[in-house]
Amino acid sequence: MRAFADLIKTLDSTNKTTLKVEALTEYFKNAEDKDKVWTIAILSHRRPPRPVNTTLMREWASELANIPLWLFEESYHIVGDLAETIALVIPKSDSSTEKSLNQFLQEILDLKKKPEDVKKEYLFDNWLNLNYYERFVFTKLITGSFRIGVSQKLMTRALAKATEIDEDILAYKLMGNWEPSKITYNKLILEENEEDFLSKPYPFYLAYAIEDEPDALGDVSEWSAEHKWDGIRSQVIIRNDQLFVWSRGEELVTDKYPEFEALVGVVPNGTVIDGEILPFPDGEIGTFNDLQTRIGRKNVSKKLLEKTPVILKAYDILEWEGEDIRNTAFGERREILEKLYHEVRSDELPLHLSESIRFKTWEEAAVERENSREVKSEGLMLKRLDSPYLVGRKKGDWWKWKVDPLTIDAVLTYAMRGHGRRSNLFTDYTFGLWDEEKKELVTFAKAYSGLTDKEFRKLDAWIKRNTLDRFGPVRSVTPHYVFEIAFEGIAESKRHKSGVATRFPRILRWRLDKKIEEANTLEDLKALIP
């Protein structure tokens, strides 16, 4: 544990990626195998199930710090991280632990089944006898999410350096379902094992947003376009008469979308399709709101399946006849995909093709892009015909070219402190639009991004001086500032007070030139619903 806590401290003491990778590489070279597996697991967001709920942890921490619970809660809102708050309020200790990281994790795994008084004693004992960083890390392991400014990609890069195994191969090995308490370092990283690969997806290739006008991409004839669908990016795998569905978050979601079982026996074994899961109520593409009703459900009722079925809009094929064809040119992969599609297609099969569109000029492409909202897409995807399927977000071969967002001018009404690097700054905002009589502001969206750090600081200082009321971490502020809010899509919604749901709302501009009377009304917003 000491080595891991030191690693976290080192990672915390630099903002430079190279130094972070260096520190991680050193760690992977020297740590014991079991600790390495857990470190990989933690940094790829595979955490042990939470053994103690956070309500109890808050109570216990305030007891140990000898402060009232309300004061702990206030401190938490300001610090912005539970484990960090706990590590800070408990009396300081300079002692350190000899126990290894994997011993701690085994204890944490076992703790779940223990009675409450044992849990409390275990936490008290460790909180009091670990130094600041060990205490912070220990509490993080218990509360879960370990976001410390190291992405999985960075961790994989360091692991590649330490093991001299290719980074892409490692990325592939680390995908999918594996349990850190059961797997060995050898099996996870070093060994080659065919069987394990049955359910494994390929790392997704992700596109960047286009920077200039598309003609900067060169000759239009080298590019293929298709609409950019707004669903869940997924890989559908058919191997050994079995179906596996993976979402981009590397989550195995096969059970959530039973529709795709219909592909087994129709699509041949040894096939991996890259595409978008889309809602398809009443025989046409629905809104992202429709899909929301499916996302969080593990057990899908028959009724829901009938009301909001899903389809796969296929746009690429990564494995064919059991062969990894990611290095084949995109144009050729599309030919294979289209041939497959035309052979198996039927009205009942939830497999649709994302039509590829070829243009003679970029102007022609621009016209098609303008049509995006009508066909329920977010814009166009541009893919170079001779490109391989890369790993992760890489510039050059794939670009997303979204339609310009819809916008509306709204008034800032509430603010909440942010988390992580925005802790103790009011950076999470709620915006309102005028009702019909322009008397009251009705909340319509929350937004967290779109301002520069400097603007955030300026607004934060203003919020602190213009607070009307406090509700725990939330403050209502004097209606004063108008912001132009951009969003991708809009739909009616019964779940929202305003009756409208917007997709990806964010701040486009701080309209210092506008008074609150000039902000838009709810009616203006509703007029944007297609």
Cα-Cα-Cα-Cα torsion 64, 65, 68, 72, nearest 10 degrees, comes to -110
What does the alpha-carbon distance between residue 324 and residue 336 come to, in Å, rounded to a whole number?
Answer: 13
Interface region with another protein, contact rule CB under 8 A, candidates 8-16, 204-212, 228-236, 320-328: 8-16
Per-residue mark of binding to another protein, 407-446 (x: CB under 8 A): ------------xxxxxxx---------------------
Q: Is 145 in the site for another protein (CB under 8 A)?
A: no
What does the alpha-carbon distance between residue 197 and residue 397 come to, in Å, rounded to a whole number?
Answer: 27
CB of 38 to another protein, least distance (A): 22
Q: Is 82 in the site for another protein (CB under 8 A)?
A: no
**Closest C-alpha to 505, from 454, 432, 436:** 432
Q: Is 64 in the site for another protein (CB under 8 A)?
A: no
CB nearer to another protein: give 74 or 168.
74
CB nearer to another protein: give 35 or 84.
84
CB nearer to another protein: give 84 or 226.
84
CB nearer to another protein: give 78 or 367.
78
Interface region with another protein, contact rule CB under 8 A, candidates 60-68, 326-334, 407-415, 437-445: 60-68
132-143 helix and 82-89 helix, angle to the nearest 10 degrees: 140
CB of 74 to another protein, least distance (A): 5
CB of 14 to another protein, least distance (A): 5
What does the alpha-carbon distance between residue 32 and residue 27 come to, in Å, rounded to a whole number?
Answer: 9
Q: Is 468 in the site for another protein (CB under 8 A)?
A: no
Interface region with another protein, contact rule CB under 8 A, candidates 61-69, 179-187, 430-438, 512-520: 61-69
- DSSP for 361-380, please give it: SHHHHHHHHHTTTTTTEEEE
Rg over CA atoms, the chain: 26
Dihedral over Cα of 272, 276, 281, 284: its sign: negative
Q: Which helix (H) or strand (E) holds 273?
A: strand 271-279
* Both structure tokens of 380: 């166009």
Q: Which of 71, 128, 295, 527 binds another protein (CB under 8 A)?
A: 71
Q: Can you tell me whether residue 162 is helix, strand or coil?
A: helix
Please report where in the chains the tokens 């008397």 appear, as a residue.
439
The number of residues making up the chain comes to 530
Q: Is 372 in the site for another protein (CB under 8 A)?
A: no
Q: Which of 15, 95, 193, 299 binds another protein (CB under 8 A)?
A: 15
Q: Which helix (H) or strand (E) holds 191?
A: none
CB nearer to another protein: give 345 or 421.
421
CB of 447 to another protein, least distance (A): 18
Q: Is 103 in the site for another protein (CB under 8 A)?
A: no
**Closest C-alpha to 278, from 348, 333, 228:** 228
What does the alpha-carbon distance between residue 91 and residue 33 come to, in Å, rounded to a whole number?
Answer: 33
CB nearer to another protein: give 88 or 183.
88
What does the alpha-carbon distance between residue 178 and residue 373 come to, in Å, rounded to a whole number?
Answer: 40
Q: Is 453 in the site for another protein (CB under 8 A)?
A: yes
Q: Is 149 in the site for another protein (CB under 8 A)?
A: yes
Enumerate binding residues for another protein (CB under 8 A).
12-16, 65, 67-68, 70-72, 74-75, 78-81, 84-85, 88-89, 92, 149, 419-425, 453, 457, 460-461, 464-465, 470
